Amino acid sequence: MEGSKRGLYEIELFKEEGFIRKKCIKCGRYFWTLDPEQDVCTDQPCGEYTFIGHPLNPSLSLSHIREKFLQFFERHGHVRVKRYPVVARWREDVYLVGASIYDFQPWVTEGIVPPPANPLTISQPCIRLTDIEKVGRTGRHLTTFEMMAHHAFNFGKISTYWNNETVRYSYEFFTRELGIPREEITYIEDWWSGGGNAGEDFEVIIKGLEVATLVFMHYKVIDNKIHPMRNYIVDTGYGLERIFWLLTGAPTVYDALFGDLVEVLRKKAGVEKLEKKMLEDISKYAGKFDIDIPEIEREVKTKLASKYGYELEEFENLLRPYEVIYRLLDHARALMFMLGDGIVPSNSGEGYLARLVIRRCLKDILLLDLPFDLVHIVDLQIEKWRRDFPEYLEVRDVVAEILSIEAEKFKRLIERGKLVVKRKVLGRRGKRAVSYDDLVELYDSHGIPPEIVRETLSREGVVIDIPEDFYSRLAKRHETAITVPREEKWLENLKEKLKELPPTETTYYELPEETELKAKILKVLDGGRIVVLDKTIFYPEGGGAESDRGLLRGENFEARVVDVKKINNVIIHICENQRGKPYEGSEVTCVIDQARRRAIMRAHTATHVVLGAARKLLGKHVWQAGAHKSEDRGRLDITFYRRLSEKDILEIERETNRVVLENREVNIYYMDRNKAEQKYGFVLYQGGVVSEKVLRIVEVDGWDVEACGGLHCTRTGEIGLVKIVRSERIQDGVERLEFVVGEAAVKYIQDMDIKLRNLSRILSVDTEKLDAKVQELVSEIKALREKVSELKGELVAMEVESLVNQAEKLGPFRIIVKQYNGDRYSLEDLREIAFKIRDQYGNTIAFLYNDKLPMAEFIVALGEEVLSSITADIIREKLTERSIRVVGGGRRHFLQGRLAPMAPKKIVEILIAVLRNCLEKG
């Protein structure tokens, strides 16, 4: 490989311009420079930032730099490509776009589809959360950045360009377009890997700042091992924000990027303005040292504190508000992209990552008691970038609503969370250490940030350490998509047996109305249970739609087809109720259940129409999260940030049926993947990623368009009535809609009508007045329940008085033991009686149980005065010592649950002995 590397690093421009190859005396990497005296690569930490305070071209705005870059490459034969969304809908392995090459992986990089243009140029917003802790502290780290890039794809005989041209373009762009002095540019030889590919690269360093990476990608990474590719791809990345910072010479990248907003938030928060020189020094030091190592960060800050005449703690307190303001502005910009591109915060997938960023912001605002909310900060970012990204103005209100809901959830979580923290850490076993896994569990299961855990426990005298990279670790754990579950083992085993067979010829797309087809048997497996044909009319399960069913008929053979599956390109028919045996080479007739197929077609087409209605009424952030289409009903799962209201459901239903009645055309056609994406965007992949070069497009005219392999009606009118019968929140951020279609919808309405008429007869009232009658009955029942509750309260009071009068005295205390038989009192009733005794008579222990063997339900309640001598935990331990296993939970002042089987009299004797022993010792 070394020879390959050297060849890639020997560049014509270096010879022409007089660049010298040298080895860095600090890091050992090779680099190219025009300065014969330069002995370090100048990258951090070998060099230092020399541009801070020394602007190179402050007149250029961020937008101007982006446009200069794109126009430069257009002049050099590149086609400008529109930016992709930050959520990678076209990929199955990652959730967020972390580099511009992600836009073209794996379909283009693996040669499955041609690139949208070749060569091309793009400016792609990216999100990386792996360094999220460093944001705000180092002066240079961002979670969101624009990667300006130019890409060239060399496939087989197609040779676009390679390393020489790539380096020349970078040199000319920086020197001629941006006016950077040629002697300030250093090229470092290195290696890059990401998104499943790898290759040698040059890092472009100017005045100590890395501003671009030029990758010569020709390897694929599988299981951390590299394998040569047939394709040679130029993958470059120019950091727009980094270049802007370089040209402005600002103290930090945050000041360059958010300058005016930094001042707005600083003034609102009442934060003291820091000296510009101090901020410059912090960036320089942070760039030179690995500031995420606590010891080094402390050493760096100690030196700076001393330089400016502060004690370390005083200096850190001075910096902290600035770090938070920088962080909030960065994270708010990330949320503008994430929420604006359709991510709904949740506890999984890309939604988890969005919520992580949101809660990190809310935590900062809470802990510093800042006088503004996250909605305001994100809105400031949308306003600031309105010319660059005007599309986010359209979703401004939705983004604000999402953030408001998340803030309210966070507030409730914190209130509950403090109790959870105390219970887990300060529970019955007393104070204990808090591990990293504890912090992860508290965050993932309860939504409690580690800083809140630390603040809560500090008041209890418990000190915890939060790993410096806590949030980065969380993001890394969740940044890749969950692998799709493997197929059933028997299907996996079939692949080997089917690999020699030719692809099955299909007719269900071309002839969806045909009911019969003659075919030849190619393979019989599992004693005839599985049959493979040379061609088939049966539609296999896929895209959430169930398969066709029907019959296979041959000479002296017949079987019922109960399922059909596609394994690679071979379709298998799973059969039951066989008569006779199928033989390889014999002819059969395929007969499908056409009524079932039509029902599923209607449900599948209805799914597209319902989704279109949901997106139209609820917003473009609605995305299909799952679907199922059967003969009886359809199911559609959609991402949404709140529960659907009854009004939402009715409006979706009305809008769906309006489109059905309009009898719109359902057009089905095939389209080149790139052309389809360019025309329709990534809304195509509502049903999931399609691994094809050519996409099968299903378009409900003027309403919905998706890449879909399902069978559909030709017009929406064929769907018939659509009735949404149920809605539920199946997981955080996902709403499920269940609906019936056509004849099934009519039957559903008829069944409901019969039920209403039956209720009318039972209640002796017209159906039109049924709701009023039911409301009247509900009111009567409520009044009766209140009366019963009142009477029950009186009975409980009488029972309490009776029990206290019969209590056995033991010194200053009273012991009540009462056995109840039958159903007179439930455990809930016993709890109410016991708690009233506990609250009214502090010197009393009440043990009440309902003898329902083999397990006796019980409650033990201890008054406040008794707790000085005994607690519920001690009672549990003493019972355990006597081999009485207590099943159930409790607190310090009560114990409840069930007692393992034992004669009631024996239990009472043991319990009284335990109580006496504890109280007498007390």
SS3 of 359-384: the string is HHHHHHHHHCCCCCCHHHHHHHHHHH
Give the residue among 12, 221, 258 at the shortest CA–CA distance from 110: 221
User: In which band, very low, low, confident or very high, does the pLDDT at 430 lie, cut at 50, 70 and 90?
Assistant: low
> If you average pLDDT over residues 496-506, what whole number do you get?
89
Helical ranges in 341-449 per DSSP H: 349-367, 374-384, 391-394, 396-425, 436-446
- pLDDT, residue 904, reads 60
- pLDDT, residue 6, reads 52
Reduce the DSSP state of residue 621 to 3 states and report it: coil
- pLDDT, residue 3, reads 35
pLDDT at 758 over 80: yes
Question: Which uninterrupted H or E stretch holds 597?
Answer: helix 594-618
pLDDT at 483 over 60: no
For the chain, count helices (H), then strands (E).
25, 30
Query: Between 619 and 293, whose confidence is greater?
Result: 619
Q: What would you report as the CA-atom Rg of the chain, rounded to the nearest whole angstrom?
A: 35
> If you average pLDDT over residues 72-89, what whole number do you get?
96
- pLDDT, residue 428, reads 45
pLDDT at 144 over 60: yes
**pTM for this prediction:** 0.82
Q: What is the pLDDT of residues 583-595, one digit of tens each?
A: 999 999 999 999 9
Whether 418 contacts 456, CB under 8 Å: yes
User: In which band, very low, low, confident or very high, does the pLDDT at 725 lie, cut at 50, 70 and 90?
Assistant: very high
CA distance 593 to 546: 13
User: In which band, very low, low, confident or very high, does the pLDDT at 852 lie, cut at 50, 70 and 90?
Assistant: low
Whether 60 contacts 247, CB under 8 Å: yes
CA distance 46 to 52: 17
Question: Which uninterrupted H or E stretch holds 317?
Answer: helix 312-340
Among 87-96, 577-586, 603-612, 873-882, whose mean pLDDT is lowest?
873-882
> If you average pLDDT over residues 784-790, what whole number do you get?
86
SS3 of 43-93: the string is CCCCCCCCCCCCCCCCCCCHHHHHHHHHHHHHHCCCEECCCCCCECCCCCC
CA distance 593 to 515: 7
Query: Between 723 and 446, whose confidence is greater?
Result: 723
- pLDDT, residue 907, reads 67
Among 152-166, 427-441, 770-784, whose mean pLDDT is lowest?
427-441
Whether 818 contacts 803, CB under 8 Å: yes
For the chain, give the longest Cα–Cα distance: 107
pLDDT at 7 over 80: no
Lookup: tokens for 107: 């379909």
Highest mean pLDDT among 136-140, 396-400, 441-445, 843-847: 396-400
- pLDDT, residue 254, reads 96
Give me the chain's average pLDDT, please. Answer: 88
Phi, psi of 24 (to 5 degrees): -65, 130
- pLDDT, residue 824, reads 67
- pLDDT, residue 164, reads 96
> If you average pLDDT over residues 139-160, what whole number do you get?
92
User: In which band, very low, low, confident or very high, does the pLDDT at 340 lie, cut at 50, 70 and 90?
Assistant: very high
Query: Between 578 and 734, whose confidence is greater?
Result: 734
CA distance 391 to 388: 9
> If you average pLDDT over residues 725-747, what whole number do you get?
93
| 616 phi-psi bin (left φ>0, alpha ψ -120 to 50, beta other) | alpha
pLDDT at 546 over 90: yes
Query: Between 839 and 856, whose confidence is greater?
Result: 839
- pLDDT, residue 123, reads 98
DSSP-derived secondary structure for 625-652: EEEEE-SS-EEEEEE-SSPPPHHHHHHH
Q: What is the pLDDT of residues 178-222, one digit of tens each?
A: 999 999 999 999 999 877 889 999 999 999 999 999 999 999 888
Q: What is the DSSP letter of 527?
A: G
Residue type, 821: N
> If you average pLDDT over residues 851-861, what whole number do you get?
70
Whether 38 contacts 50, CB under 8 Å: no
In degrees, to the nearest 5, what angle opens at C-alpha 143 toward C-alphas 618 and 355? 40
3-state helix, strand, coil in the chain (%, to 5): 45, 25, 30
Q: What is the DSSP letter of 861?
A: E
Reduce the DSSP state of residue 870 to 3 states and report it: coil
- pLDDT, residue 470, reads 83
Cα of first residue to Cα of last residue in the chain, in angstroms, is 79
Report the percentage of the chain scoring pLDDT > 90. 54
CA distance 332 to 339: 10
Q: What is the pLDDT of residues 11-48, one digit of tens each?
A: 999 999 999 999 999 999 999 999 999 999 999 889 99
CA distance 288 to 26: 12
Phi, psi of 36 (to 5 degrees): -65, -20
Cβ neighbours of residue 566 closer than 8 Å, sequence gap 6 or more:
504, 540, 541, 542, 572
Q: How far is CA 689 from the centre of its chain?
A: 17
User: In which band, very low, low, confident or very high, does the pLDDT at 486 lie, cut at 50, 70 and 90?
Assistant: very low
In degrees, to the nearest 5, what angle opens at C-alpha 911 toward C-alphas 910 and 917? 90
> If you average pLDDT over residues 602-631, what whole number do you get?
94
Q: How far is CA 711 from the centre of its chain?
A: 31
Bond into 901 cis (ω within 30): no
Cβ neighbours of residue 65 closer than 8 Å, sequence gap 6 or more:
178, 240, 243, 244, 247
Highest mean pLDDT among 137-141, 470-474, 811-815, 882-886: 137-141
> If you average pLDDT over residues 319-329, what whole number do you get?
94
Q: What is the pLDDT of residues 114-137, one digit of tens each?
A: 899 999 999 999 999 988 988 998
> If you average pLDDT over residues 619-643, what whole number do you get?
92
pLDDT at 325 over 50: yes
pLDDT at 888 over 70: no
* Count of Cβ atoms closer than 10 Å to residue 848 Cβ: 25
User: In which band, very low, low, confident or very high, does the pLDDT at 354 lie, cut at 50, 70 and 90?
Assistant: very high
Highest mean pLDDT among 117-121, 556-560, 814-818: 117-121
